[in-house]
A = this chain, B = another copy of it.
């Protein structure tokens, strides 16, 4: 199969108009996708994107176009998508702009995810099944092992995947019957009033969620009050995670979390810079028993490797589009399994829920083999724009059944929200 063209779209939703998605670092995000359709000479196509919060989305679309010479007119071997991903990551001139981080890496994510969407469509299966049906050797070949072997070797990964084959049929039956556990961030945006926080927290419990999340880090007194209101609303048994979106230095993070401790936060998410491995380790030691979580802004597998080596996190929050897509996330899932740290994917944004469910379900079936202390983030925004939106029931993600990676934004939505010339932005 040859890749014949890349169609690139700048799609932006004006979410800042209602303060959906507001947090201590990101007061006015316009949730956006740098979106690509990978077209092939077979007629089959794959959809992928990376997620931004508005300004600069055009840099990600431009970066996707910068990869075009490595992709368009080239063969794509659907049985060797690791090679495809490495071709993008190892281009020396584009690598200079990272390496393997920031705009170029996010653009690679869009392309790699599109290639998996394509592979799922061609095989007629959802990507969680495509991945789970691979042999251990095939899975190992997806990852880029460069810089990982001091923590995990391909042989160790193969052993781990082989061991995880036991009980697979039972887990798949359970997944198809009841889905994968979720938690919801819907109640907790920083821009919401106390009444809205309480109302949405109650609704979350009524909807079957066993964990919610609150944004914190703006003002300590506000956070204490909001945390108390949320705890009163959900009762003692529902977990409440808190998320500071990188707002603090190390010492401040420890003090702030300790002040919230009477209301039993389940984890503190992004307490500080996502680059600060040692800082997270210090915070983790300082806030026990509150767990430390991070990942949505962690640049690549090398930083995740160190977060695990340094015992800096209790919860690893992979992101579908920040690292270079499915292949790098396979490496990250394998690292997390080796170190015994549960993966709770970051989602929300535009279509992140749609993408990460495939990775979490693959993890359950073929890597960690467990859903214990594992939950996928859920936010109730923007799903209506997808052709295969996530389905939530009783606080759980139901396994998608359509072929591909659930990555396709409806053509009408792509036109309506096209930036800067779509009707939503012209008005």
Q: Which of A59, A96, A300 has the most CB of B within 10 A?
A: A96
Chain B neighbourhood of A30, CB < 8 A: 93
Nearest-Cβ distance from residue A62 to partner chain B, whole angstroms: 5
Chain B neighbourhood of A27, CB < 8 A: 92
Q: Is the CB of B92 within 8 A of A102?
A: no
**Contact code string A122-137 (vs B, CB < 8 Å = 1, else 0):** 0000000000000000
Q: How far is the CA of A29 from the CA of B101 in the complex (A)?
A: 19
| A208 part of interface (Cβ distance < 8 Å) | no
Nearest-Cβ distance from residue A96 to partner chain B, whole angstroms: 5
Q: Do A150 and B249 form a contact, CB below 8 Å, given A62-B59, A63-B59, A273-B302?
A: yes
A75-89: which residues lie under 8 A (CB-CB) from chain B?
none
Chain B neighbourhood of A232, CB < 8 A: none
Q: Is the CB of B93 within 8 A of A56?
A: yes
Q: Which of A54, A102, A148 has the most CB of B within 10 A?
A: A102
Q: Is the CB of B62 within 8 A of A66?
A: no
Instruction: Name the prevailing secondary structure of the A interface residues.
Output: loop
Q: Is the CB of B147 within 8 A of A54?
A: no
| A91 part of interface (Cβ distance < 8 Å) | yes
Q: How many copies does the complex hold?
A: 2
Q: How far is the CA of A148 from the CA of B279 in the complex (A)?
A: 10
Nearest-neighbor residue (CB-CB) of A63 within chain B: B59
| A73 part of interface (Cβ distance < 8 Å) | no
- Which of B66, B276, B282, B303 sits near A147, CB closer than 8 Å? B276
**Interface residues in chain A, defined as those with a beta carbon under 8 Å from any beta carbon in chain B:** 25-30, 52-56, 58-60, 62-63, 66, 69, 91-106, 146-150, 246, 249-251, 272-279, 282, 297, 299-300, 302-303, 305-306, 309-310
Kindly list 19 other residue pairs between chains A and B, CB separation below 8 angstroms, not including A53-B93, A99-B297: A25-B95, A26-B96, A27-B92, A28-B92, A29-B92, A29-B96, A56-B96, A58-B66, A59-B62, A59-B97, A60-B97, A101-B101, A148-B249, A149-B249, A275-B306, A276-B302, A276-B305, A276-B306, A277-B278
